[in-house]
Amino acid sequence: MEIKISDLPGIGKKYAFDTSHSGHFVLIIHQQGMREFFHFKHPDDDEAEYNFQLNDEEARQIGAIMLGVDYQPIADDRMELFLRNVRLEWIKVKPQCTIANKRIDEARIRTLTGCTIIGIQREGQIIGSPDVSEVIRPGDTLMAIGKREQVKSLEDLCQG
Amino acid sequence: MDNVPFLLLAGLILCVFFAVSFASQKLRLPSVLVYIILGVGVSSRFVDSSAIHTVAEIGIVILFFILGMEFPLGRMIAISKKIWPSGLMDVVLNLGGATVLALLFGLAFPAALVIGSVAYATSSSISAKMLHEQKRLANPEAEFILAILIFEDLVAPVLVSFIAAMGQGETLSPQFGALLLFKIVLLVAGAIFLGHFGFKRLNDFVIRHLQKDFMPLMTAGVALSYAGLAIALGLSEILGAFLAGMMLSETGRSTELEHLVLPIRDITLPFFFFWFGTTISLGEGIPRVPLLVTLIVWAAIGKIITGYAGGRMYGLSPKVSSRASFSIIHRGEFSAIIASLAAPQLKLLSGIYILVTAFMGVYLFQKAPSLANWYHERWCRKCEVES
């Protein structure tokens, strides 16, 4: 993103930039500390569509949040790495399969496949992070997380 | 009024200033105007007090001192490079134009020059306030308008020096002009020298002691001494104060130093406008009505041409330029400073001129976007017809 900086003598500084999704913005930092945002639909527009103001403290707080001081989403490249290795799948339990009508611990899913069941969808309801004593019924949809091959072997198990 | 204790008088005046300034915020009027009107209102009962005059003078000195601080030499040159064609046109049309008009109406040259100077500068304080209030700071014309104002701020102190010198009864001979110019150059060179070899090295000192109680003393001390030095040389205190600000800005800490003297300005400057108002007594009737009306009409025309042509030269679109042109008509503090140096008759004329143009300017400033749109539509239709 390119930011054009210019002086507004006697008033403060002006920062103009184009965003990839939301048009053209101008930020003015006043000498007294106030921040004023102006939004232009197109960079060529000569009048702002709307504007808002933040005082010095508000601007600093929001600035810190935007920087990621409190919460940092996983960066794009890390997310890709994560997705390449770990899969989250919804798997339908066929009636004839070996794990149907067994408790999760009886079915020994973790031992056999390595997958973790993080949820069960049953008759339109979701059982989140089910207990190991939960009985898997035919027709359930298991929400399972694991590596690619682990998920694959659970899928095989559910096919029967 | 003589037997009212000074403290009581000063305190009451400050309270009244506070009240009218607060009211002006609510009424969306420039506070400069409200102070002047207040002064005019009490002018018949007000005995000119030297104390108030002194405070007013300090206010003006600090105002121009702060202006000077905003502009280290390098930055000033950078801005001037881009704006000088428009700035020069502003001088020719508004200073020159109004002077010629006054001459045509039979005024002598010195008086005409005073009138021209009163008509010259757009009010910086009103412009800054209006740009902010009308949410137009981010618009492309804001930078242009502010640059024009800076150019005017550079011309103004020199202009005031000429007027002040003439006010001391000197005749405008070539020798006198040359001497005056020499003094101005001397004062400017002194400021550049002190700034470059003195204050530039005080950067560390200023950072280290910024919070100490002696820093406002140093800042105000430098401002008042250099302003006083200018007066001693027969120049204007405004030029001295402006140069003092420029000198201190070489420390690279002008924002911080500015904050130290801002309260002084906020307390003392209203006294100037108020005092100026008291010197305008409407009892004598309005003098030279035809000249006044002509000047007011020219006040608008001159600035509109400057704004439009200047804006185009600055690289603004026709629409934005026309918006700029309707946004620089108000005269204000600078004109009042010049007028305060004028003879009583001219003072009254100038006072009315300032009040009328200021109100007209504020009104047109608010209307500028719609005026520009109207103009743009007409202009475009004309283009289409032509093509």
User: B220-254 pLDDT, tens per residue?
Assistant: 999 999 999 998 888 888 889 999 998 888 887 87
pLDDT at residue number A25: 92
| Lowest mean pLDDT segment, chosen from A51-60, B197-206, B324-333, B357-366 | B197-206
DSSP state of B139: S
CA distance B61 to B273: 13
Inform me whether the pLDDT recorded for B320 exceeds 80: yes
Inform me whether the pLDDT recorded for B321 exceeds 80: yes
The residue with greater pLDDT, B234 or B170, is B234
Tokens of B78: 């950078």
- The average pLDDT across B164-180 equals 73
CA distance A115 to B65: 74
pLDDT at residue number B82: 85
User: Which ipTM value was assigned to this complex?
Assistant: 0.71
| Lowest mean pLDDT segment, chosen from A28-37, B28-37, B267-276 | B28-37
Angle at B222 between CA B219 and CA B227, to 5 degrees: 130
DSSP state of B49: P
Mutate: best of B66, B71, B135, B333, partner A, most A CBs <10 A: B135
Q: Sort out which chain A residues have CB atoms less than 8 A from B258's CB and list them.
A: 31
Altogether, the residues listed in chain B come to a count of 387
By the CB < 8 Å criterion, does A14 face chain B?
Answer: yes
CA distance B21 to B34: 7
The residue with greater pLDDT, A81 or B178, is B178
Residues 6+ apart with CB under 8 A from B160: B117, B236, B238, B239, B337, B338, B341
pLDDT at residue number B298: 93
Nearest chain B alpha carbon to A34? B132
Q: Is B279 helix (H, G, I), strand (E, B) or coil?
A: coil
Q: In this structure, what is the dihedral angle of CA atoms B369, B375, B381, B387, given to the nearest 10 degrees?
A: -110
Q: Which of B128, B135, B319 sits opposite A10 (nearest CB)?
A: B128
List pLDDT tens digits, range B325-357: 999 999 988 898 888 888 877 888 888 899 899
pLDDT at residue number B386: 47
The residue with greater pLDDT, A59 or B1, is A59
Cross-chain residue pair A10–B146, CB shorter than 8 Å: yes
pTM for the full model?
0.73
Altogether, the residues listed in chain A come to a count of 160
The distance from CA B121 to its chain's CA centroid, rounded to whole angstroms, is 6
CB-count exposure of residue B245 (10 Å: 0-12, 13-18, 19+) = buried
Q: Is A53 helix (H, G, I), strand (E, B) or coil?
A: strand
In single-letter form, the type of residue at position A82 comes to: F
Grade residue B169 by pLDDT with cuts at 50, 70 and 90: low
pLDDT at residue number A46: 72
According to DSSP, the residues that pair with A127 across neighbouring strands are: A120
By the CB < 8 Å criterion, does B147 face chain A?
Answer: yes
Check the CA dihedral B101-B300-B292-B345 and report its sign: negative
Cross-chain residue pair A38–B143, CB shorter than 8 Å: no
Grade residue B387 by pLDDT with cuts at 50, 70 and 90: very low
By the CB < 8 Å criterion, does A2 face chain B?
Answer: no
Grade residue B294 by pLDDT with cuts at 50, 70 and 90: very high
List pLDDT tens digits, range B131-145: 888 888 888 888 899
| Lowest mean pLDDT segment, chosen from A53-57, A92-96, B83-87, B199-203 | B199-203
Segments in chain B forming alpha helices (H): 6-27, 31-42, 50-69, 73-90, 97-104, 109-120, 124-133, 140-167, 174-193, 203-209, 215-232, 237-249, 254-278, 289-314, 318-325, 333-340, 344-386
Tokens of B140: 């492309």
Mutate: best of A5, A8, A24, partner B, most B CBs <10 A: A8
Nearest chain B alpha carbon to A47? B139
Tokens of A41: 């639909």
Average pLDDT of every residue of chain B: 85
CA distance B378 to B195: 52
Q: Work out whether strand A86-92 and strand A102-103 pair parallel, antiparallel, or are unpaired.
A: unpaired
Inform me whether the pLDDT recorded for A160 exceeds 50: yes
List pLDDT tens digits, range B2-42: 577 888 888 998 999 999 999 988 887 888 888 988 888 88
Closest CA to A99 of A152, A138, A151, A44: A138
Q: Sort out which chain A residues have CB atoms less than 8 A from B320's CB and list them.
A: 46
Q: Which of residues 25-64 of A touch B (CB under 8 A)?
A: 26, 28, 31, 36, 38, 40, 46-48, 51
pLDDT at residue number B48: 64
CA distance B350 to B292: 8
DSSP for B289-304, please give it: HHHHHHHHHHHHHHHH
Q: Which of residues 36-75 of B touch A (CB under 8 A)?
A: 67, 70-71, 75
Beta carbons of A49 and B158 less than 8 angstroms apart: no
Domains and CATH numbers, chain B: 6-386 (1.20.1530.20)
Inform me whether the pLDDT recorded for A89 exceeds 90: no
Q: Which of A9, A36, A38 sits opposite B79 (nearest CB)?
A: A9
The residue with greater pLDDT, A130 or B17, is B17
Angle at A9 between CA A7 and CA A13, to 5 degrees: 35
Cross-chain residue pair A9–B131, CB shorter than 8 Å: no
Closest CA to B326 of B256, B375, B387: B375
